Amino acid sequence: MIVRVLFLLCLFMLRVRAAESFGDTWGTAEREEAFYRIVNVPMPDGVYLEAGSFVSLPDGRLAVGTRRGEILLFSGISEEKPRPQVTTFASGLDEVLGLAWRDGAFFATHATEISRISDTNGDGRADRYDTVSDAWGFGHYHEYALGSKFDAAGNLYVALGLSESYHSKALFRGWALKISPDGKTVPICSGLRSPLGVGENEHGEMFYVESQGPWNGSCSLKHLKPGGFMGHPVSFNWYAFAPEMGPVPVMPNSPSRMETERKRVPELVPYAVVFPYKKMGRSISAFEVCRAGGKFGPFDNQIFLGDYTLSMVMRATTEKVNGVWQGACYPFREGLGTGILAVHFTTDGKLISGGTNRGWPVRGMKDNLLQRIDWTGRTPFEILEIRAQPDGFTVRFTRPVDPLQAARPESYALQTYTHIYHQGYGSPEVDQTRPVVASAEVAPDGRSVRLRVRGLMQGHVHEFLLPEFKSSDGELLLHDRAYYTLNEIPKP
């Protein structure tokens, strides 16, 4: 008994030291509080939560799928000082990392299947469980299944993690599957490694989140292009079970670069948005598009993502250029209390976040935690979005800029880099360059600047640093950086 206590104490101390070593990523948590306030949602007695997925119900309640295999129903979470009522709708599942609602039933993605779960007698608890799809293998606890919400056509998508992080020992491990309304399961992509979220981007295309690791130099947001190869070749062994996918792709070279290999391997889909390691998360997780209609500030139709390790939330925007998806990521809110696995916008425009501190080191050491992020009504001065142009970028802001400062090219510092595409774990930033801003043209309304840039680098992350940049009323940017992944340079 004493040995066990000492072991647990040592483990706790190691985790505390790991959490302390993370430090502040952006150092802006205190300033962020003025614009986006974090509210803890207390748990009633007898409720222990490890949130893995969320969905809002038509009556306004929040449904939470948990790592412990439950579906819990919360009411009262949007009150100024929430005191939620919680009931258990279903239990006995296995790590509910995807939750959707349709036609009076839940569609829960857990380790071994998608289940349609319903209450047929109206007593508020599930009494019918139907298998929608179980067309994949499972043989190890470290084989995760992530599920999407329904797309416009009524399809669900499942992103399947590898076996034990490094192998594909069970059917379709490292693949994405589409499940049609009639229950037909079709493999659509290979080459996934460790997905932590799957869903639509702001344009209605299906994307997923990928973690840094083998064949992935940094975390990223990737387009699930039908027939695509997402980059990790260990799951090539299942092409024989997916005739719709065609022949096995050419084996990528290692070490190489993504920009080089996607010319050799036609099926290879580049990272749409790279999240530079440590600068923008270490283990990004599930995401959702803000459709709050202005109730969450100026960020409607942008993607919000959590990060498990650093306990923070980021933004992203995407665009399609020359038939390829790409885009940028931006800091948003740090200082959350647990490892974030999922985020969700409620019907009244509040951002819910939740997760766990069990399993891997995290900055946020609290357990049994659900948090809400509320917009205070004040609009921060931020980089709203970056769009690629044939000779540079257009940078939009949430508020008008100082026109004199914004018109000076020296106000903008850019650098670029890429990552090694190889079978090794992760990658440093390599092949650095420093593009030059040749001119900066401020729009008449002061909310955007057209930058003409010499030295654009296709296939590189373009890092924007604006440390002294100010609004027209003299306020510094809340976050002075953003990162654009330039897969394609638009045609003139």
Which residues, 6 or more positions from 347, have their beta carbon under 8 angstroms from its beta carbon? 56, 60
- Domain membership of residue 20 (yes or no) is no
**Domain identity same for 63 and 202:** yes
Strand partners, 159: 146, 176
Looking at residue 3, what is its pLDDT?
37
**Domain identity same for 313 and 462:** no
Sign of CA dihedral 490, 198, 52, 67: negative
pLDDT, one tens digit per residue, over 179-227 is 999 999 999 999 999 999 999 999 999 999 999 999 999 999 999 999 9
**Domain identity same for 266 and 310:** yes
- The number of distinct structural domains making up the chain is 2
- Backbone φ/ψ region at 480: left (φ over 0), alpha (ψ -120 to 50), beta: alpha
**Which parts of 221-302 fold into alpha helices (H)?**
258-264
The gap between the terminal CA atoms of the chain, to the nearest Å, is 71
d(CA 257, CA 459): 9
**Domain identity same for 395 and 344:** no
**Domain identity same for 273 and 154:** yes
Whether the predicted pLDDT of 427 surpasses 70: yes
**Domain identity same for 347 and 481:** no
Closest CA to 287 of 327, 227, 322: 327
Which phi and psi angles does 43 have, rounded to 5°?
-95, 135
pLDDT, one tens digit per residue, over 243-298 is 999 999 999 999 999 999 999 999 999 999 999 999 999 999 999 999 999 999 99
- Domain membership of residue 16 (yes or no) is no
d(CA 90, CA 110): 13
CATH number, domain containing residue 470: 2.60.40.1220
**Domain identity same for 433 and 347:** no
- Provide the mean pLDDT of the chain: 94
Rg over CA atoms, the chain = 22
Whether the predicted pLDDT of 124 surpasses 90: yes
**Domain identity same for 141 and 282:** yes
Element (H, E) at 37: strand 36-41
**Domain identity same for 276 and 406:** no
CATH number, domain containing residue 80: 2.120.10.30
Looking at residue 7, what is its pLDDT?
37
Looking at residue 464, what is its pLDDT?
98
Which tokens hold the place of 153?
A: 């056509």
Residue 227 structural domain:
28-375
pLDDT, one tens digit per residue, over 317-365 is 999 999 999 999 999 999 999 999 999 999 999 999 999 998 888 999 9
**Domain identity same for 312 and 393:** no
Strand partners, 190: 229
